[in-house]
Amino acid sequence: MARTILTRTVIDTPAPRPGVSGHILSWGLPFTEMLVNVFAAWTQGKSVVVKPSLRAPLSPVAVALAASGLGFPPGVLNVVQGTGVDVGAALIGSPLLARLHVHANEDTLSRARRAGARSQVPLSTLSAGGNAMLVYPDVSTNLIGKLAAATAAAVRMHSTGGPFGVPIVAVHRAAAPAVLEAIVAQVGAVVAAPLPSQPLRVRAMNRLGLLRAAGGRVLVGGSIPDDIEHRMGWRIPPTVVDLGDADAAAPLLGSAGTPLGPILTVVRWSSHHDLDAIFTAPRHLDGYAGTWGDSLGDERIRFGVLAREQSPLDAAHSGLVPSAWTGEKPARSNGVHR
């Protein structure tokens, strides 16, 4: 993945101004975040200062150790362990950075945006929930199977805040019955990775409770089995929640909190107005989406970057890097926005 990012970025991206970029990482997929985030900064001629999550502190250290062994000069990659109130606050408030990359919860993102207005440092936010699947009415039976498999793979990795997570599938009403059946069959058969702590599992289940109380219909999963694996492993069974039509689901998605855990929500739409209503939260502005069955050819950029008929996992491995991660404007190549 790193090799692909380096190749695409060096060949296709004009050289931006050098400097130092700050990176505040999450716990979801920290090693992958190092590759897709820090490698992109290096190709732009920037040195980096990385603050790992307290729940996932060693992945950036492993990358730094490998970089040191390969002969990277001192100061090119700097990993600073600490909390959000010391190291995180120092990065967010620094006017000396050329760019700040933040992958965090809504509170941290809000502080980073407010600080950016004073520091004038460009901000790239990797916020939870940006990734989505968008299904058009012309989706074929063959594509439905591939869509369901890609969705199940994303739910298995559970990190809806990470670059491969999928917390929401927006499916056209005409295709909803077949798509839901395929997704439930695939998602119900996977074993999701554990969350990193019990408090995060509690937050995920509380959000699920809000979705159910507001009328969300659980199609698979939804409760934690009382067995040793789930009690000790901080696991949540893969869960699919049908939120119904867009007009009812849109306000619910905005009030239920940040997506966490292997909990997939499905919303039905019939117009582009519905899509605009669903994806209004700031977290949806910088993710990227897989679109399936789009015969209209309009390729609207609704989530920062749009990958036609690719899952987020396939898109990342093919070198499709969200512009929000590099600070560059999306470039079009062979019908794909990069």
Decide: 249 and 93 in contact? Cβ < 8 Å.
Answer: no
Q: Tokens standing for 295? A: 């015969």
Determine the pLDDT at residue 51: 95
CA angle 33, 171, 244 (to 5 degrees): 110
Decide: 137 and 175 in contact? Cβ < 8 Å.
Answer: yes
Determine the pLDDT at residue 241: 95
Determine the pLDDT at residue 156: 84
Note the pLDDT tens digit of each residue in 133-177. 888 888 888 889 988 988 888 888 765 455 567 788 999 999 999
Q: How confident is the model at residue 243 (pLDDT cuts 50, 70, 90)?
A: very high
Alpha-carbon distances of 189 from 169, 179, 219, 226, 239, rounded to whole Å: 18, 16, 13, 19, 11
Alpha carbons 161 and 22: distance in angstroms, whole number: 19
pTM of the predicted model as reported, rounded to 2 decimal places: 0.72
58 has a pLDDT exceeding 50 = yes
Note the pLDDT tens digit of each residue in 287-316. 556 778 866 544 443 333 444 455 555 554
Alpha carbons 116 and 237: distance in angstroms, whole number: 39
DSSP-derived pairing of the beta strands 123-125 and 99-102: parallel
Note the pLDDT tens digit of each residue in 12-45. 455 566 799 999 988 777 787 787 778 778 877 8
If one compares 224 and 336, the residue with the highest pLDDT of the two is: 224
If one compares 4 and 278, the residue with the highest pLDDT of the two is: 278
Mean pLDDT across 81-92:
91
Closest CA to 337 of 325, 320, 324, 319: 320
Q: In degrees to the nearest 10, what's the CA dihedral of 109, 134, 303, 287? A: 50
Beta pairing partners, 185: none
Q: At what angle do helices 198-213 and 246-255 cross, to 10 degrees?
A: 150
Q: How confident is the model at residue 8 (pLDDT cuts 50, 70, 90)?
A: low
Closest CA to 154 of 37, 310, 285: 310
Interior/surface letters 183-196, b for 16+ CB within 10 angstroms, e for the rest: bbebbbebebbbbb
Tell me the one-letter amino acid at 333: S
Closest CA to 172 of 146, 147, 208, 207: 147
Determine the pLDDT at residue 97: 93
Alpha carbons 311 and 190: distance in angstroms, whole number: 17
Residues 6+ apart with CB under 8 A from 172: 135, 136, 137, 139, 268, 269, 270
Alpha carbons 47 and 243: distance in angstroms, whole number: 44
Q: How confident is the model at residue 253 (pLDDT cuts 50, 70, 90)?
A: confident
Determine the pLDDT at residue 276: 76
Q: Tokens standing for 82? A: 């600490």
Closest CA to 207 of 222, 195, 221, 196: 222
Q: How confident is the model at residue 238 (pLDDT cuts 50, 70, 90)?
A: very high
